[in-house]
Amino acid sequence: MSDTQTPPSTASGGHIEPRLIELEMSESYLTYALSVIHSRALPDVRDGLKPSQRRILVAMNDLRLRPNAKYRKCANIAGTTSGEYHPHGESVIYPTLVRMAQKFSLRYPLIDGQGNFGSIDGDPPAAMRYTEARMAGPSVEMLTDLDKETVDYQPNYDERLLEPTVLPGRFPNLLCNGSDGIAVGMATSLPPHNLREVSAAIRAVLDDENISIRDLIEHVPGPDFPTGGMIMGRSGIYQAYTTGRGRAIVRARHHVEEGRGKKEQLVFTEIPYQVRKVAIIEKIVEIVKDGRVTGISDVRDESDRDGLRLIVELKKNEDPEVILKQLFQFTPLQSTCSIINLALVDGQPRTLTLRGLIDEFVRHRKVVIRRRTMFLLRKAEERKHIVEGLRIAVDNIDEVIRIIRASADTDEAKRELMSAFTLSLAQAQAIVDMRLGRLTGLEREKLEDEFQKLVAEIADLSDILQRDERVVAIIRDDLDDVEARHGDDRRTEISDIEVDGSFNIEELITEEMMVVTFSRGGYLKRTGLDTYRAQGRGGRGVKGSESKEGDAINRLFLAGTHDYVLFFSNHGKVYWLKVYQIPEGGRTSKGRAIANLIELAPGEEIQSLLRVRNFDEEGFVFFATKAGTVKKTLLEAYSRPKKTGIRAISLEEGDEVVGAALARPGDTILLASAGGRAIHFDEQAARPMGRVSRGVRGMRVNAGDRVVSLIVVPSDVDKDSIGVVTACTNGFGKRTLVSEYPIKGRGGQGVINIKVTERNGPVISFSLTHEGDELMYISSGGMIVRSRVADMRSMGRNTQGVRLVSLKDGDEVVAMQTITAEDLELESRNQSEEDEVGEAGAEVGDGEVVAEGSIDVDDEAQLDDGEDSDDDSGDEEDNS
């Protein structure tokens, strides 16, 4: 618009002012934002109330609804609040009133409700015409001394009345009940606390102005929710108390009981703050239906008026700890309580520490007490002034009577009295209004006593105003009184166990033993150990894998679901997986291709697998290659592999890894070759090397021969009682004591282990066994056999051995694995029924169990065609 133009006029005589929309929007939005912040969403730091809450209490105070009064209809209370103070309608006021009465919403309810005020299930309250209410004890403390000019007043919405801008707040409401609200661009979430702990912290601040927040936390360890529960860890609380922002992980309180049919059940008796019980039940049903949690058979709500009781019934043999962690991850049984200590301080939103919140409460109480003292002092001085005039009148009663009788009216009498005795108008008025009964001797004494009491009261009140320690003492006395009236015990437990809100997947996986199988074609799976039942020696076993045509299982071992598996490839690299990351398959499934689990280079194949429980264990990884090279490297060197693998050992061209095992100082090493030779030497014969070293010669092998197995013999075993089992491809083998293998230097050809004949075939495995162990054999056709080591008697090194497995035509043994007595004990706990041992069978077929096989006489014939040979000449190879 040009300077010469005039604003267009409206028909009513007004005018329109053109403005930029950006400017109008910013100013209007700012006005709206400030209105929300000050008049709706954020609490005042002094009394911890929002305007709507404060107006409800003021209206109830006007209606004299004290705790000893009769209950009044909530419709009346909401109507009074709306009509006198809060112009937003009764339907907005009533929900605020309801929350102030809910014991599961406020730690110390401010309203005592009668009727249906909702439930922790999320049920809505009854209509306000059906419910009644009155003030609770803490509200009375909040309103104490409101009539003594302790706070400022402001006009109400229509300027008919005055309303307090804040309540005197003898009760530390903001700290004890907390507050939450969402304003424009900011939010507050102050958690509730225990009154006794808050009072102790305030007293500590009053005693020591320099007290640290760390010392305050000794008095206030953390929030105390009305619904109880457990806060996991203290770090989030400490952060919130020191910075004003933090979070607390809250879990439901629970215990385990034995339910129907001896099934275990989880019982939840307290749930996280502001979580609806029905929401928890709905979420549990959802995760069971979609298969995220499979161990739950039923969920029931057995809550009553005596307390909350939520039952989660588990399936038989399920681990309660695993199910519990799954529930904490997938349901609101664990929730995060955000702590944002934002409140209005002198009309401005500020984020406060724990010390800041306490300081603001103390500052407010000091102001209230001083203003109350000034009010009482003024009233006492005014009364003292009147009593002084009455004393003068009593002392000069005859003259006073004469002046009053001689006066034409009251005004003349007051003027004459003021002139005659130098009185003020108030004193003259009191004398004129005095009754003749005050002239008796008793009344004169009372007047004198009142005057002396007023003098003492004025001196005491003046002393309070002059000495800050007197004010502090009054605050402390008020706290003691409030705590004695309303204090109670802590409901929320604080655990020292830190939880970050996220879950390690291992916590959700049951610890159990698994059979890990790996085929020559690169297929990997894990299967529960209880799938396989023990048989007698010589049995054919059950179908253990549905092998791909032309494929065969060549590795199997026992491992816990939380164990690590190191995969050593033919290229000398190592890859890393957890057992629970290996796909689980049925007894006859072929598993998952290893290429889908780890990133192998073109032409790379996995040749050896190693189970590791913890990389912090003291010890080494001991390698053996088919060319007879060995290497010893610290286990910790393999704890941080990359997704694409890391180099485990440097190999000569054409060589590959055939075994890897954990070794500790003092252990001994046994190597066995396919040609029936074995060598035994001390682990110290191979010095520790770096991860990429080539190693040294461990066994000299003849042309056409190769090393097939590596055994680490622990130093603490009795070599005269522990044995090694040698298995050959045609199902024959034997058990020989370790003491039969003399300890020689590394690098030699070793001694005879077993005669490799056409009947036996070459050696395929060499395994350390105890009397209580069991052995598992697997054939190229996918057949698995389990048998007891105790069924095999010990034989010398020069025997041919006995039949271990009855094979079908064309089938051969490709792997053997020891099941330790410890693993067997775990298996017995995991199985739902006892194993059937030595079960007799009829015809042999897939999935059938057969009787123990017979042994031919010549199976145990002794060899006599050669002495043991030993060549200890073994030089170290070059290391890179």
Region 370-399: mean pLDDT is: 93
Domain with CATH 3.30.1360.40 in the chain: 253-332
User: What are the pLDDT digits (tens) for 223-250?
Assistant: 999 999 999 999 999 999 999 999 999 9
* Residue 873 scores a pLDDT above 60: no
Q: Which is it for the CA torsion 357, 363, 365, 368, positive or negative?
A: negative
Amino acid letter, residue 386: I
Domain 360-486 belongs in CATH node 3.50.50.60 = no
Question: Which structure tokens are listed for 274?
Answer: 């502001």
Q: Which CATH number fits the domain 50-165, given the four candidates 3.40.50.300, 3.30.70.20, 3.40.630.30, 3.90.199.10? A: 3.90.199.10
Domain span(s) for CATH 2.120.10.90 in the chain: 511-831
Candidate ranges 12-21, 207-216, 855-864; pick with highest mean pLDDT: 207-216
pLDDT tens per residue, range 420-467:
899 999 999 999 988 877 777 777 888 899 999 999 999 999 999 999
Beta strand ranges found along 751-812 (DSSP E): 751-752, 763-769, 774-779, 783-788, 802-803
pLDDT digits 0-9 by tens, 468-488: 999 999 999 999 999 999 999
Query: CA neighbours within 13 Å on the CB side: how many for 67?
Result: 12
Tell which wins on pLDDT, 86 or 858: 86
The predicted structure's pLDDT at residue 166: 96
Catalytic residue among 71, 94, 108, 130: 130
Confidence of residue 847 (pLDDT cuts 50, 70, 90): very low
Q: Would you say domain 253-332 falls under CATH 3.30.1360.40?
A: yes
Return the pLDDT at 522. 79
CA distance 556 to 650: 25
**Where in the sequence of the chain do the CATH 3.90.199.10 domains occur?**
50-165
Lowest pLDDT segment from 163-172, 275-284, 820-829: 820-829
Superfamily classification of domain 511-831: DNA gyrase/topoisomerase IV, subunit A, C-terminal (2.120.10.90)
Within 10 Å of residue 440's Cβ, how many Cβ atoms? 10
The answer on pLDDT for 876 being more than 70 is no
All residues at 6 or more sequence positions from 401 whose CB lies less than 8 Å from its CB, including other chains: none
Distance set, CA 39 to CA 83, 167, 183 (Å): 17, 15, 10
User: Which residues have CB under 8 Å from 444's CB, separation 6+?
Assistant: 394, 438
Distance CA 515, CA 532 (A): 9
How far apart CA 856 and CA 875 sit, in angstroms, is 44
Q: What is the mean pLDDT of the chain?
A: 84
Contacts of residue 845, defined as CB under 8 A and 6 or more positions apart, other chains included, come to none
Q: Confidence class of residue 554 from pLDDT cuts 50, 70 and 90?
A: low
Nearest partner of 328 among 397, 262, 253, judged by Cα: 253
First and final C-alpha spacing in the chain: 87
Known catalytic membership, residue 638 = no
Question: Hey, which residues does 182 pair with through a beta bridge?
Answer: 187
